[in-house]
């Protein structure tokens, strides 16, 4: 068994799914599906895992994820509400022959690039966000044309950033979904505590060596790097959005030493915490 295969249900009479999600928290289980997913975060914040990428998410994020790319969204505990708009669509939603048309070349290339996950920024993001609510109001051919118009803008945009270093490859992932979800859930809830590889091995009922090998196969990174990304991602969010001191953020991020915190922060962001805060607040 791979990460959970989530079944996407199409509305009657539609070739793709349009979902307006509103709840206390997002779907926070490591999963994948054969449909591509275009998601816009309206409300909510937390940590997202897409392939081997770990980053905070926030309102305004616009992301396209390719077919079978594993992902997880973990809302902040303090976040009172989460809301998103998501479009799910198969690569050959209009038929294989349609996707082979020369006019579809750029969109076909976009779908291929989305295997690594793409985040859109700038004018592209603003334009598509404005178009998404209108999509629901369209019907029949008008809805399809509106959808293709959105993908045309995304396909021609250069205001993009890849998220995952590698594309989807669920065949190489381990067959015990519950175990990797248990690991992710524990780290996301306890990253501010003293977490060791030995303790995580016990949690996963593995030897330390087996756990390290297992985690690297699951995530394409070491557990130490994963834990650092979770902690530094939290710290980045606190530096930008709060008036807490760097000392407070250091402790809340799971570091007992300011010097260690500074070293790990600079390794992850190429900046010191104070420089990062000044840059993004400016």
- Residue, of 222 and 218, whose pLDDT is higher: 222
Q: What is the dihedral sign for C-alpha 121, 123, 126, 132? A: negative
- Identify the domain boundary among 127, 162, 197: 162
| Over residues 219-237, mean pLDDT | 93
Q: How far apart are CA 178 and CA 80, in angstroms?
A: 27
Strand order in the sheet with 17-23: 17-23, 82-89, 36-43, 62-65, 118-120, 160-162
Residues 154, 197 share a domain:
no
> How confident is the model over 47-65, as a mean pLDDT?
93
Same domain, 201 and 253: yes
Specify the pLDDT at position 10: 58
Tell me if 264 sits within 8 A of 225, measured CB to CB: no
Answer yes or no: are the C-beta atoms of 236 and 271 closer than 8 Å. no
Residue 168 lies in a domain: no
Considering the domain architecture, whether residues 202 and 252 belong to the same structural domain is answered as: yes
In DSSP notation, 43-101 reads E--EEEEETTEEEEE-TT-EEEE-TT--EEEEE-TT---EEEEEEEE-TTTT-HHHHTS
Task: Please tell me which residue, 3 or 254, carries the higher pLDDT value.
Answer: 254
- Lowest average pLDDT, out of 179-183, 188-192, 208-212, 278-282, goes to 278-282
State the pLDDT at residue 171. 47
pTM: 0.82
The pLDDT > 70 percentage for the chain reads 91
The predicted pLDDT at position 263 comes to: 94
Instruction: Provide the CATH number for the domain around residue 118.
Output: 2.60.120.810
Lowest mean pLDDT among 96-100, 113-117, 220-224, 266-270: 96-100
Mean pLDDT of the chain: 88
d(CA 13, CA 53): 35
- 235 in the same domain as 139: no
Q: What percent of the chain has pLDDT over 90?
A: 62
How far apart are the C-alpha atoms of 36 and 222, rounded to whole Å?
27
pLDDT at 220 over 90: no
Same domain, residue pair 217 and 262: yes
Query: Lowest-confidence range among 75-79, 209-213, 247-251, 270-274?
Result: 75-79
Q: 133, 19 in Cβ contact below 8 A?
A: no
Q: Is residue 156 part of a domain?
A: yes
Q: Is the domain of 218 the same as that of 141?
A: no
Count of domains forming the chain: 2
Tokens of 9: 């249900």
Residue 259 binned pLDDT confidence (cut-offs 50, 70, 90): very high
Q: Are residues 149 and 32 in the same domain?
A: yes
Instruction: Domain of residue 228: give its range.
Output: 174-281
* Res 235 pLDDT > 60: yes
The 10s digit of each residue's pLDDT in 38-52 is 999 999 999 999 988
Residue 93 lies in a domain: yes
Using 50, 70 and 90 to split pLDDT, how confident is the model at 12? low
Q: What are phi and psi of 101, to 5 degrees?
A: -60, 140
pLDDT at 233: 92
- Residue 1 has what pLDDT? 34
HSE at residue 220, side-chain half, CA atoms within 13 A, is 16
pLDDT value at position 27?
74
Residues 13 and 146 in one domain: yes
| Local structure of residue 234 (DSSP, 8 states) | H
Looking at the domain assignment, is residue 149 inside a domain? yes
pLDDT tens across 158-207, in order?
Answer: 999 999 986 655 544 556 678 888 999 999 999 999 999 999 999 999 99
């Amino acid at each position: 068994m791979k990460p959970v295969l989530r079944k996407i249900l199409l509305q009657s009479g539609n070739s793709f799914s349009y979902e307006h999600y509103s709840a206390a928290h997002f779907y926070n289980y490591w999963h994948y599906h054969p449909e591509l997913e275009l998601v816009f975060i309206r409300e909510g914040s937390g940590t997202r895992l897409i392939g081997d990428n770990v980053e905070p998410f926030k309102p305004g994020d616009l992301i396209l994820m390719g077919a079978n790319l594993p992902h997880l969204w973990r809302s902040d505990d303090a976040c009172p509400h989460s809301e998103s708009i998501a479009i799910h669509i198969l690569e050959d939603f209009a038929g294989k022959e349609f996707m082979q048309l020369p006019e579809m070349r750029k969109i076909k290339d976009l779908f291929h690039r989305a295997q690594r996950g793409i985040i859109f920024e700038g004018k592209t993001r603003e334009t598509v966000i404005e178009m998404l609510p209108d999509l629901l109001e369209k019907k029949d051919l008008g809805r399809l044309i509106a959808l293709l118009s959105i993908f045309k803008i995304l396909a021609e945009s250069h205001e993009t950033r890849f998220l995952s270093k590698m594309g989807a490859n669920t065949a190489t992932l381990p067959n015990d979904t519950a175990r990797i979800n248990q690991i992710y859930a524990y780290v996301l809830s306890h990253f501010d505590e003293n977490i060791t590889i030995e303790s995580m091995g016990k949690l996963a009922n593995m030897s330390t060596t087996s756990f390290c090998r297992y985690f690297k196969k699951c995530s394409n990174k070491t557990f130490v790097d994963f834990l650092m990304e979770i902690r530094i991602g939290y710290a980045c969010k606190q530096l930008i959005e709060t008036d807490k001191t760097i000392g407070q953020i250091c402790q809340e991020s799971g570091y007992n030493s300011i010097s260690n915190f500074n070293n790990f922060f600079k390794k992850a962001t190429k900046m010191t915490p104070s420089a990062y805060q000044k840059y993004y607040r400016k």
